[in-house]
Amino acid sequence: MQEVRAIRPDREVLTRQRLPYFVGISGETVGASGMSMHLVTIPPGAKSEPHYHVGYETGIYVLEGKVLTRWGARLENEVISEAGEFLFIPAGVPHEAINLSTTEAARAVVARNHPAEQDQVLPYVAE
């Protein structure tokens, strides 16, 4: 029988994107079969490694801060997300996230339509 479970992220995990995550819902934590959801913190002035997600979409809700996301084959496109805004990243689109503040961390909830939080994240080198 499946059960409803509450999860409190209790440890920070450094991801392939080189950002600290607090894993919440995933195949590993609750046996999810079609999604994962976690909290990401981008330290002041930090940025993720350029990367892309194979075969799944990502939805982000910014809780705190202002984040510049560069995306595209040469990371030539830009969008800024602020607290209270959602960001959608299609599967396979190269991108990187940059905290625009040098003094405050940015925090966001990240949801994906895949149960593994890191298995399909690959590094990307811009053309």
Q: Is the pLDDT of residue 118 over 60?
A: no
* Predicted local distance difference test score (pLDDT) of residue 86: 98
Per-residue pLDDT reduced to its tens digit, 38-63: 999 999 999 998 989 888 899 999 99
CA distances from 109 to 34, 80, 125, 126 (A): 17, 16, 26, 26
pTM for the full predicted model = 0.85
Per-residue pLDDT reduced to its tens digit, 82-102: 999 999 999 999 999 999 999
Number of Cβ atoms within 10 Å of the Cβ of 119: 16
How far is the C-alpha of 77 from the C-alpha of 70, rounded, in Å? 5
Pick the closest to residue 70 from 93, 44, 36 (CA basis).
Answer: 93
Query: Which phi and psi (to 5°) does residue 27 adopt?
Result: -60, -40
- Asked if 103 contacts 44 with a C-beta cutoff of 8 angstroms, the reply is yes
How far is the C-alpha of 85 from the C-alpha of 61, rounded, in Å? 6
